[in-house]
Amino acid sequence: MAVFSLSKEATAEAAIEAAALRSDRFRQDREADWKRLEAIVTRMEKGRLRRIADEDVLALPVLYRTVASSLSVARETSLDAATLSYLESLVQRAWFLVYGPRTTLWSWLGRFFGGEWSRAVRSIWKEMGVALVLMIAGTVIGWQLVLIDPDWYYALVPTDPADPRVPGASAEALKGVMFGNQGQDGLSMFAAYLFSHNAGVAILCFALGFAFGIPPLLLLIHNTAMLGALLWLHDDKGLLIDIIGWLSIHGTTELLAILLSGAAGLHVGRSMAFPGERGVLEAAAAAGQRAAVVMAGVILMLVCAGMLEGLGRQLIDDTTQRLVVGYSILAFWLAYFFLFRRVPVASDAE
């Protein structure tokens, strides 16, 4: 038994020595490439591009693939943990330099707000016109439905038992919702709910555009029918201007965001239904890129609308002031989208 035990220990030690020798040879055969790649990566990460020789720049992709191959072999042959960890870290750092983004976050934001977003919006102006017509039609339809039968109000507008805004409500009850709420608690929670709801509607309008643009048409009409019903309810009590002012602070931004999301969905759907000389996938990909830029800005607009909903509308308690603020914000958005032109932003490479 003692001899057998000694034999097992000797075998284990031999295996360990063989593995260590194999790892040392593996490192010695390839370490020069590893060190060269590490030196190039380190200089590039520190921004010392002028100190990198042209041959090193040209060799960077080749060295990256060589080290990535070394990492694959090291994993398959179960080399020591230190070597694996070193190679994994080096390959990850090199990947970002070879295939990663070429600009910083601040550079991207500069391009986005410096004209890329507004240019993308202008590129879908035809779809915006269609979306605007649909939203106006939805508002009129909602108004006419509740005018014919007030019971339609409950189908169009989500109601709460504690909400006084229902058909038959008095003018005083409706005014109580719109005025005198400066000290109301929970505004941030309500703003968060509103942002979540409207962001969901906007994303649906965009995402369902791939169904040849038909679902966004229905969503735009459905959501603005609710607006039409709400306007009818207040007009019946002589409060139409007050409700428009109450809605305008956040509504001008919010409705414009939903219009843009619907237009983005229609743009993608139209490109698929009428791709022209290009293939359907190629046309959809090009339209999707433009629409994605628009949607990135839509989310920012909905964040602004949520903040205005939770703070500005309740803190400003005068209809005239609400109208001035709301439509000034709308004028700002329209000026940015249709009057502002791209401002060149220096790239990181420069």
* CB 223, CB 158: distance < 8 Å: no
End-to-end alpha carbon distance in the chain = 74
Two tokens, residue 194: 């509103």
d(CA 232, CA 251): 17
> What does the angle CA 301 – CA 133 – CA 262 come to, to the nearest 5 degrees?
40
pLDDT given at position 239: 93
Phi, psi of 132, deg, nearest 5: -65, -45
pLDDT given at position 349: 37
Maximum C-alpha span of the chain: 105
pLDDT given at position 149: 94
pLDDT given at position 214: 77
Mean pLDDT of each 10-residue bin along the chain, 350 residues long: 49 52 70 86 77 79 84 74 82 79 70 88 92 94 95 86 83 85 52 63 72 76 90 93 90 91 88 79 83 90 83 79 93 92 47
pLDDT given at position 13: 57
pLDDT given at position 275: 80
pLDDT given at position 335: 94
Question: What is the distance, to the nearest Å, from the Cα of residue 256 to the centroid of all Cα atoms in its chain?
Answer: 16
Q: Which residue carries 């000389």 as its tokens?
A: 277
pLDDT given at position 211: 67
pLDDT given at position 182: 57
